[in-house]
Structure 1
Amino acid sequence: MTTTHPTPFDAEIKARHRKLWASGDYPAVADLIAPLGRRLVDALHITAGDKILDVAAGAGNVAVPAAEAGGHVVASDLTPELLSVGEARHRDLPITWRTADAEDLPFDDDDFDVATSCVGVMFAPNHQRCADELVRVVRPGGRIGLINWTPTGFIGELFAVMKPYAPPPPPGAQPGPLWGDADHVRSLFGTGVTDHEFVTETVEISEFDDGAAFRDFFKAHYGPTIMAYRNVGDDPARVDELDAAIAAHADRHLTDGRMEWEYLRAVLTVG
């Protein structure tokens, strides 16, 4: 594993990411996919006494069911505004909420029994750094559990729809939905893990009657969508194009008021 050190350029990128995810109301978006946290906890067979790190935890979609299962949980995220929402909502649970960068985790080697991330770590720009850090902080024989949107599923395709309108990514940043490709995940973790279990599943979303309703919700609440609109905000024709493109994308996936959002669930055993 190669040790890397943050640079001023890295700090600028992190500031942009914090701003992106603090915009809008990501916890409201995460509430749509709340069942994913329980699914990941169940897949990892988390039990009382497990020491767990939830990386890019947001407001706690995984951290909360992990704590309810008896785990000793640290919920970490680059964006303190999201952690504040989780802490305010779940003061009754023994969760430590800590600001931390997924590419440079402030924890000791072999410190946790389990590390998790649910559609979180996938959005950090340097995938290899994140994978190396996850392996480093989990003890040998421990588990890493990930849920990530697939490139060909609804959210992965949404990013493709928004890409022509969004600000350019920082140099060297890798597309987040690559984490939803099993071959990419295998290549990231390499010999750092001894076993892989991959399952492709969907989560049903039934909150939107039509594509316009979905678009308006994401336009108001989801950081990457908000930033895409801000990027073209001075061009009304481009805004109209983006409005139509997102609504059409959602309409293509809606059947009787329901959508299926595809994700890859990965459970890895650390070597």
Structure 2
Amino acid sequence: MNANKALWEKGDFTRIAAAMRESGEELIESLGVKAGMDVLDLGCGDGTTALPAAQRGANVLGVDIAVNLVAAGNARAAAAGLDKLRFQEGDAADLRGLADGSFDLVVSIFGAMFAPRPFDVAKEMVRVARSGGRIVMGNWIPGDPTLIAQVLKTSADYTPPPIEGFISPVTWGVEDNVRERFAAAGVPTENVTCERATYVFRCPTPPRDLLETFKQYYGPTMNAFEAASKDGGADQLETALTQLFEQHNRAGADKTEIPATFLKVTVTKP
């Protein structure tokens, strides 16, 4: 089985996404999504950015490798009465079935960065975008001191070494890598801009509850706890993550509001 598919079908990212809704809406608002636009949300999960795009009148296709998230997205679209939004299973590195130049906007927020073969991912995003259209990515930054980069780093410390040839998802958070990958897909450097932006995880309960959600439902954290349990390090891992969540929380002891910095990439297709 595709290892990336197994990772994201293992848990239930909808539980994590519940803390991300408000920031997803803010991001879509900032992109100026309008009625009639054709939008592809790649690595869409259950629609944290796809739903607000469709609510603004865009025609939206969400593509995700995890069949459980595709089903959850279609259920959310139906419940919201959004007939211009649909979700389907697909691989960000191989968007077979999607025609060249189909979308005004290709957006991938913490999604396509996790797909293997990053050069193929960049090539496919460029291929399906229209000339003059935009590609917008949100990518976690390696070594960044804010929450998610540190969660991924800490989880990796407790997980067995990856297979030979593995390319870390957070390499998408390095500007030089981003420019190199899109250049290989035919995009001039001047058409690629990178800036740091902030995503905020919000929930009405204490940070330890959000950590418990990550522990039970977020693939990378689940794998780390499974490996740590075999080595007797689960308590140490939990202590390290608890400290992270509590240190980064800015909402007080009874609720959670944790900012996380990411690299916002905007590409204009020639």
TM-score (norm 1): 0.87
Of 43, 47, 60, which residue of structure 2 is paired with 1:56? 43
Q: Does structure 2 retain, via aligned residues, the 8 Å contact 1:44–1:143? A: no
Aligned to 1:119: 110
Q: Figure out how many residues of one structure are paired with residues of the other and give that number.
A: 256
Classify the secondary structure of the residue corresponding to 2:199. Answer: strand
Match of 2:223 in 1: 227
The 2-side partners of 1:203 and 1:57 are apart by 16
| Alignment partner of 1:181 is 2:170 | no
Map Cα deviations across residues 237-270 of structure 1 (whole Å, 9 max, x no partner): 2112211221122233234344211122222101
Distance in 2, matches of 1:150 and 1:68, equals 30
Query: 1:127-138 counterparts in 2 under 5 A?
Result: 127-138=118-129
Give the secondary structure class of the aligned counterpart of 2:233: helix
Equivalent of 2:193 in 193, 197, 215: 197
Change (3 A) 1:167 1:34: farther
> 1:195 Cα deviation (Å)?
1.9
Post-superposition Cα deviations, 1:20-51, rounded to whole Å, max 9, x if no partner, equal: 21223211101211133323323332211111
1:155 to 143, 148, 164: 148
Structure 1 CA distance, aligned partners of 2:18 and 2:167? Answer: 26
Task: Give the whole-Å Cα distance in 1 for the aligned partners of 2:264 and 2:222.
Answer: 27
Deviation at 1:206, TM superposition (A): 4.3
Are 1:168 and 2:168 counterparts? no
One-letter amino acid of the structure 1 residue matched with residue 93 of structure 2: E
* Cα deviation, residue 59, structure 1: 0.3
Identical positions, percent: 31
One-letter code of the match for 2:106?
A
Matched, 1:96 2:93: no
Do the aligned partners of 2:15 and 2:213 also contact (CA within 8 Å) in 1?
Answer: no
Q: Distance in 1 between matches of 2:73 and 2:34?
A: 21
**Structure-2-length-normalised TM-score:** 0.87
For residue 264 of structure 2, give the secondary structure of its aligned residue in structure 1.
Answer: strand
Give, as a single letter, the amino acid of the residue that structure 2 aligns with 1:102.
A
Matches of 2:235 and 2:34, distance apart in 1: 50
Q: Does 1:37 align with 2:30?
A: no
Runs (4+) of structure 1 exceeding 4 A deviation are none
Aligned twin of 1:209 = 206
Instruction: Give ranges in structure 1 of 5+ residues lacking alignment.
Output: 1-11
For 2:171, the aligned partner's letter is L
Corresponding residue of 1:264: 263
**TM-aligned CA distance change 1:199 to 1:42, over 3 Å:** farther
Amino acid at match of 2:170: P
User: Is 1:244 matched up with 2:231?
Assistant: no
Moved more, 27-36 or 57-66: 27-36
Distance change >3 Å, CA 43–CA 178, structure 1 → 2 = farther
Matched AA of 1:187: E
SS for the counterpart of 2:137 is strand
AA paired with 1:45?
Answer: G
Please state how far the C-alpha of 1:205 moved relative to its aligned partner. 3.1
Please report how far the alpha carbon of residue 187 of structure 1 lies from its aligned counterpart in structure 2 after TM superposition: 1.9
Question: Does the aligned pair in 1 maintain the 2:42–2:64 contact within 8 Å?
Answer: yes
The answer as to whether partners of 1:110 and 1:140 remain within 8 angstroms in 2 is: yes
Contact 1:102 1:124 in 2 (8 A): yes
